[in-house]
Amino acid sequence: MVGHWTDRDSRTGCTVVIAPAGTRGAVDVRGGGTGTRELEGLSPLANAEGPSAVLLTGGSAFGLAAADGVVRWLEERGIGRPTPLGVIPLVPAAVVFDLAEGRHDRRPGPEQGYEACEAAAGGVPGRGQLGAGAGAAVGKALGRERASAGGVGYAAARLAGGETVAVIAVANAAGDVIEDGEVLAGPRGDHGEPLRSSQLIPELPLPAWSLRPDQSTTLACVCTDATLDKRGCGIVARGASAGIARAVDPAYTPLDGDVVFCLASGAGPPIEPGPAASWRLTILGTVAASLTAAAIRDAVRQAVRPA
């Protein structure tokens, strides 16, 4: 289930992905300026089985507090890792920087994370400038005031074997969103004409204050009902990260906090390591990369419409 909380006046919000019981998860971190919480539990070496939910949030580091509300909502419903003293919800989180939009002193906190959970539902999630993408922008080479709107996007596909793979993405990149080699959303010139960041950036005088190291990030969460262990989730998350590089130019810069999660809820044991498992992971990673790119492009397309 996916739920959003949005403050349209302050141009910020948060988005929660609530995982089915028994879900395994992993993460791939590529950006140089991440803001995160509880990622260590997603390591294949960690003891935790998997996350109870994943939080994508605005508010930069302040927005990580929204995870407390997600934890409270899950605990009230008995969702989390069982212990003799009760369940402990595991909620990894990652942020985008949107403090330059709206009011920088208003950002998601515990109550807002709780409200996002209350709004969570199955099916195609809300997209556009809402939730964690409410204050998102892309193509910031000339500053946010000449950037294009970003937001939340979604894409999904069903594989020949019957598994579903879906991706929700938050597009708030320093770079442009591209498609077929052309700029889909990027900086605008003096007369509103589209420009290409990869051509502008080498010509910017130093220091280029328009490209600040605290204003950008692309986040994605891959969700599948395939049966994967944590290692398999990590391989799919790494493959899905290629989708950011396909849809964002430049990608993975020191200015971005790019993070990709992968959640797998399939029941039963995963395929034993070997050629069949490697081929299956290749298929899932290939599809996840394509869907991640599609979700990022969907985010900027939906951002120009009423959310």
Note whether 265 and 258 are within 8 A (CB).
Answer: no
The CATH class of 2-303 is alpha beta
Q: What is the pLDDT at residue 307?
A: 42
Note whether 139 and 197 are within 8 A (CB).
Answer: yes
In the predicted structure, residue 279 carries a pLDDT above the cut 50: yes
Top-confidence residue, 66 or 31? 66
Mean of pLDDT over the chain: 92
Q: How far apart are CA 54 and CA 45, in angstroms?
A: 19
Q: What is the pLDDT at residue 183?
A: 95
Q: List CB contacts of 44: < 8 A, sequence separation 6 or more.
A: 26, 229, 230, 231, 234
Domain spans of the chain? 2-303
Give the CA angle between residues 154, 15, 50 to the nearest 5°: 90
Structure pTM? 0.94
Q: What is the mean pLDDT of residues 102-112?
A: 87
In the predicted structure, residue 248 carries a pLDDT above the cut 80: yes
In the predicted structure, residue 209 carries a pLDDT above the cut 60: no
Q: What percent of the chain has pLDDT over 90?
A: 77
In the predicted structure, residue 87 carries a pLDDT above the cut 50: yes
Q: What is the mean pLDDT of residues 104-128?
A: 95
